[in-house]
Structure 1
């Protein structure tokens, strides 16, 4: 389901679709880096003469920088994010619609485990709606009996799929605040119960109200999610804070989308957390550590601001970690510096990053 939605989004963003996407990452890498669909980024940050920067620490001009932030000096090693395919807009041209319609028909065939209750007038979504058969098939599935890792992978994949499907059904929200409505309206029926995206995130996956998105946190407080006791039985066993790096709302600041497996979901989440940190933090030209708000709010559950740089360094290659500690330490010792970290605000523009699938050995 995630793979199918990914292909639909890529097809709607690519103005040169001439044949059916094969799903091969070699195809994605061949797409023009000058369009809105791109797996190639250009670094435009100027290295400051005020800092004695080691060339191997910072990114060269041809290194990917998926979270482009003005004034940021990017890392040379950002893990899987270096291979991410970006979709920052979607077209409704004839070729794109024809391809997407075919993929949505394929998507409907995959709905053997869930059935949709999205009410929409988007012309493509009519291909997705399952009839009586899909509802009967959905009733046969009961995630209550899945093991913890199986539940985790299942609900993360379902959430990311549902958000993408909601964009096709309702359109792209113009702001993070306006995303709350489709979070409540868009829903899949699983095991005979309807689960909205908001219910999956905050009840089933037990995520806390997002401190990095205060408007959403406020709306959650004002609009209590109505979930039955039976539905709560579908929830994961224990809260996993690291899931924050796996859920994508299609915002510029959101983590990338990947497919999670029950067997390796723990390792996959750890890997994505590490790669998100490497791809999204940096050092300004004045030696200030730049941290996205999502990461800053997440880290508050583990460390104080004074120890944030040291905590982040744990996820960086040794030479980069030394670089961070060196220059943050210098800044802390400066009488003119009151804070060693700069918090990058949430960017609510529409954008998806899709990570390539790993080939089986």
Structure 2
């Protein structure tokens, strides 16, 4: 089929800022879809029928498919492929049926307005996404460009920065960039006094130098134990770092964290890359709440929590690329269910502390291969007026890859 759908990026300068190809697509179009604001930017000379996006938005896919084969234009903000409409529609319409004509993205305009090299900046969006994802991005000296959800976003971000110890972070709100209503608002997070800005804005944040007590955590595996609220069911820092090295998260992969405790393994898996996903399976309701709290405060609120005992709780879950078993190793049914559900080529990692669970892992290694590692970690602690080494319980780590 020919390219019947054209996605046109349009900025605040409206029709006047469009190139010749975009104008010709609008002249040919029988129907134009877009937000009410976008449609109002078109002159009367564009004769196509104009349809504002419906509520719920999912109805739009049916409406577009009903016009399949006719010349249709979709108006989108800036670059449709950067947190935009093009990326959304690409999941429902074949690529060879559409043409995409981009305008400068909001991020490009904001980087130019701030004088920030865009390759040195984190590009983030909370438009229809959880605000808590920003916690992961707060770091000393970090520069962030944030696509706001609405006019209240800058005040919310200022509060989050202050709560995290970044009271002196500098915020710049860039409203209606490129249009007649363009405006710039500046201030520091600790003294932010703008409760509401224009709904169409990009927020630029220079995190600067935080307070000594600020929460500033690396994205590498092995966060300090105190980063996690827990009731004692926590894979400790040194063991956790080695465990995650064996799990080896890759972008887009899904982890099952079975017997998740306070969620530390699944949380650090998701912090490794924005596209990493995880499901925490935990039977204890209090620990389920700890997982939700920890995932929010550590910037991965999309971590999925499943309540229930394995193996029954594993039924119907999305197929994982990797599985960590932190509890239930001595129950052969749990190990077997995890192994059967794991993707071919996927990784299974299990930790054992007791002799019985270690024996179970040895048995699995004899049957399925893999490798066993025993870790014993000691920390210097006071003994009277001196120091001595206090050794934690040794942990056996079993790691195996499922044959393809």
Judge same fold: TM > 0.5, yes or no: no
State which structure, 1 or 2, has the greater radius of gyration over its C-alpha atoms.
2
- Which structure has more RCO (C-alpha within 8 Å, separation ≥ 6)? 1
Bigger strand fraction: 2
**TM, length-normalised to structure 1:** 0.30
